């Protein structure tokens, strides 16, 4: 009998030591005083202990992190919550609650920095993903829609659960797009990109960020907002898709097909990073499900153009055969000087909007028109092109054309010996 009494006394002492001083077993708030411990303690002995929190009776025994302790600790790592006998809770169990002064639906984004500062690991050193979830236990959200409903301000509407493995993945599979049908090439081409949102209802993972393996998609930081129904919250992440199509290139002097399509994947292999994602139970279960990559179908003609009418543009120091940017803009606006060589003849083409202001260029013909071209910038254009001067040493005849366009050679207005033109270029 004496042995039994000693055993009971020893067990009682152990239980008392497990409870921080000045703390009751009911409705306690973790503050900067003696109520704080690491790990936190769950005093719930009901059938749902460890996991249940959506009734006041269970909330009375769970730790609730006050604003004071959250601000005092800042970025902080806790051990997994334990029961009164120091038995550690784990995957799917509750870590703590967030009181109404920390987290309410109406101002839920204010709670995100506090949650982002929290990390939780087991005694073995394995981290959990800390997931904030929602339930209208206090009836605050219901009261906002129906003022006759009484609010219980002693209750919390937001709890933090420790998750890993398939349980975490199940939540991440619930993401969804706002307007998925708009994510197509025609829209992106018209708007030079796309900006949209992905959502996750009623959950937020501490420290979460979204990434994608394609180089066209970027993601903003998450924002927590009230759901349109007014009850509960959702995580919103805005993403941006840049136009994946490279600057269109026109290839001169070659033929090619512009039929068919290219494809580009955007929003590919989306994954989540979060506090604690170094542990295998978390990092192996952070794929974003519920939404999938989008494949953009782009016509080849939007990327490549071929022009076999000319072999290149006359430029410095040599010919240009691939046109992009300003060069392509000027070409399609008929502001160019192009060339083509056929056997021993070199053809030089001046666009119909070349900008030569000399009256003799406009009204003259033959030698007179050539002299107007030559004296109004033509000598510099031809003389600074080393490739052209090499050609002039290997052909016999040069023919000049005016009013040329990307689709028409224009009209021949002058012809001369190659040696004559080379001499004129050299001596002015």
Alpha-carbon torsion angle 14, 19, 21, 26, nearest 10? -140
In this predicted structure, what is the pLDDT of residue 428?
Answer: 64
CA distance 242 to 179: 17
In this predicted structure, what is the pLDDT of residue 211?
Answer: 96
Q: Which of 97, 78, 76, 75 is nearest to 39 (CA)?
A: 78
Q: Which residue has the tokens 């995100």?
A: 112
What 8-state DSSP symbol labels residue 161?
Answer: E
Q: Which of 335, 338, 382, 326 is nearest to 354 (CA)?
A: 335
pLDDT per position in the chain (428 positions), as tens?
Answer: 333 333 333 333 333 334 443 344 334 789 887 888 999 999 988 888 899 999 888 888 999 999 999 999 999 999 999 999 999 999 999 999 999 999 999 999 999 999 999 999 999 999 999 999 999 999 998 998 899 999 898 999 999 999 999 999 999 999 999 988 889 999 999 999 999 999 999 999 999 999 999 999 999 999 999 999 989 999 999 999 999 998 899 999 999 999 999 999 999 999 999 999 999 999 999 999 989 899 999 999 999 999 999 999 999 999 999 999 999 999 999 999 999 999 999 999 999 999 898 999 999 999 999 999 999 999 999 999 999 999 999 999 999 999 999 999 999 999 999 999 999 998 86
Question: Is residue 130 a contact partner of residue 275, using CB atoms and an 8 Å limit?
Answer: yes
CA distance 121 to 278: 11
Long-range contacts of range 379-385, CB-CB < 8 Å, 24 or more positions apart? 379/424, 379/425, 379/428, 381/314, 381/337, 382/314, 382/348, 382/421, 382/425, 383/425, 383/426, 384/316, 384/317, 385/314, 385/315, 385/316, 385/317, 385/318, 385/319
SS3 27: coil
84 CB neighbour count, 10 Å cutoff: 18
Tokens linked to 213: 């393996």
**What are the residues facing 195 on neighbouring strands?**
240
Angle at 311 between CA 306 and CA 312, to 5 degrees: 95
């Amino acid at each position: 009998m004496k042995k039994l009494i000693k055993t009971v006394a020893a067990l009682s002492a152990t239980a008392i030591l497990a409870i921080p001083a000045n703390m009751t077993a009911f409705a306690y708030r973790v503050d900067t005083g003696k109520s704080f411990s690491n790990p936190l303690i769950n005093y719930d002995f009901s059938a749902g202990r460890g996991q249940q929190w959506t009734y006041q009776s269970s909330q009375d025994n769970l730790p609730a992190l006050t604003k004071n302790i959250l601000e005092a600790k800042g970025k902080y790592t806790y051990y997994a919550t334990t029961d009164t006998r120091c038995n550690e809770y784990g995957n799917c169990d509750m870590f703590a609650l967030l009181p109404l002064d920390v987290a309410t639906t109406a101002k839920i984004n204010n709670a995100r920095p506090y949650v982002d500062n929290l990390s939780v690991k087991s005694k073995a050193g394995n981290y959990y993903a800390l997931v904030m979830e929602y339930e209208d236990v206090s009836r605050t959200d219901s009261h906002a829609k129906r003022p006759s409903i009484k609010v219980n301000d002693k209750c919390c509407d937001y709890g933090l659960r420790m998750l890993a493995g398939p349980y975490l993945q199940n939540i991440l599979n619930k993401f969804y797009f706002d307007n998925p049908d708009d994510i197509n090439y025609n829209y992106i081409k018209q708007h030079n990109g796309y900006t949209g949102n992905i959502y996750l209802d009623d959950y937020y993972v501490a420290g979460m960020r979204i990434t994608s393996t394609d180089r066209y998609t970027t993601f903003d930081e998450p924002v927590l907002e009230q759901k349109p129904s007014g009850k509960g919250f959702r995580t919103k992440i805005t993403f941006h898709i840049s136009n994946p199509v490279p600057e269109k290139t026109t290839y001169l002097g070659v033929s090619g097909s512009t039929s068919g399509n290219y494809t580009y994947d955007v929003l590919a292999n989306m994954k989540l990073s979060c506090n604690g994602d170094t542990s295998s139970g978390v990092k192996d279960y952070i794929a974003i499900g519920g939404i999938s990559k989008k494949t953009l179908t782009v016509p080849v003609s939007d990327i490549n153009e071929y022009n076999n009418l000319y072999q290149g543009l006359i430029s410095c120091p040599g010919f240009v055969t691939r046109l992009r940017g300003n060069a392509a803009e000027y070409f399609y606006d008929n502001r160019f000087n192009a060339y083509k060589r056929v056997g021993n003849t070199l053809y030089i083409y001046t666009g119909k909007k070349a900008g030569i202001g000399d009256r003799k260029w406009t009204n003259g013909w033959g030698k007179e028109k050539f002299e107007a071209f030559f004296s109004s910038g033509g000598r510099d254009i031809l003389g600074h092109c080393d490739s052209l001067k090499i050609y002039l040493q290997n052909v016999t005849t040069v023919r000049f054309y005016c009013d040329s366009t990307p689709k028409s050679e224009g009209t021949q207005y002058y012809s001369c010996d190659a040696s004559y033109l080379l001499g004129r270029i050299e001596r002015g």
